[in-house]
Amino acid sequence: MQEVILVNEVDESIGSMEKMEAHEKALLHRAFSVFLFNKRGEMLLQKRAASKYHSPSLWTNACCSHPMPGEETEQAALRRLEEELGFTTSINKAFHFTYKAVFDNGLTEHEFDHVFVGEYEGAMQLNTEEVSEVCYKTMADIKAEIEHNAGSYTEWFKIAFPLLEEWLQQNRSTYAAA
């Protein structure tokens, strides 16, 4: 049974709850999203496995999940990179945002999402229970695909993407190729 950290609107922990129950009750909980780029500034995307309980077979960022109670958010992000894609790399906290998305199966993601950014272009060992495929795409190509085929991407990715674009504009020196 996986638990998530329940938080208030400023990300202060107010307890924990079993993950599915938190999603059924639409309670705000801590999450993270990792965005990775190769040296050409292309973003690593993953296609979620068809067996995922929500947003199956949709494209999204390198990885995302929830830290466990007592686990630091950055450490959880590195753990999930290893579990889903078979590698770790240096990541830096970029920004955070809160979102709420209701899914067809009655579950709701209501998350205080910590966004991490990094670079990677090496070997990957995909966990096929989590990820069906990966690819790198330019920001411009992703933006065009979201505009023309939004249903191919996860809800949180469509919310985070323009926030990430803005962050990259303000931090161009850090991720110059992006």
Is-contact 154 59, C-beta < 8 A?
yes
Task: For the beta carbon of residue 112, count every other beta carbon within 10 angstroms.
Answer: 22
Cα distance between residue 103 and residue 148, in whole Å: 21
Report whether 87 contacts 125 (CB < 8 A): yes
Annotation marks residue 155 as catalytic = no
Catalytic member of 84, 109, 111, 155? 111
- Quick check: is 63 catalytic? no
Dmax over CA atoms of the chain, in Å, equals 42
Q: How many CB atoms lie within 10 A of CB 133?
A: 13
Catalytic residue among 42, 64, 84, 155: 64
Rounded distance between C-alpha atoms, residue 141 and residue 68, angstroms:
34
Residues annotated as part of the active site: 64, 111
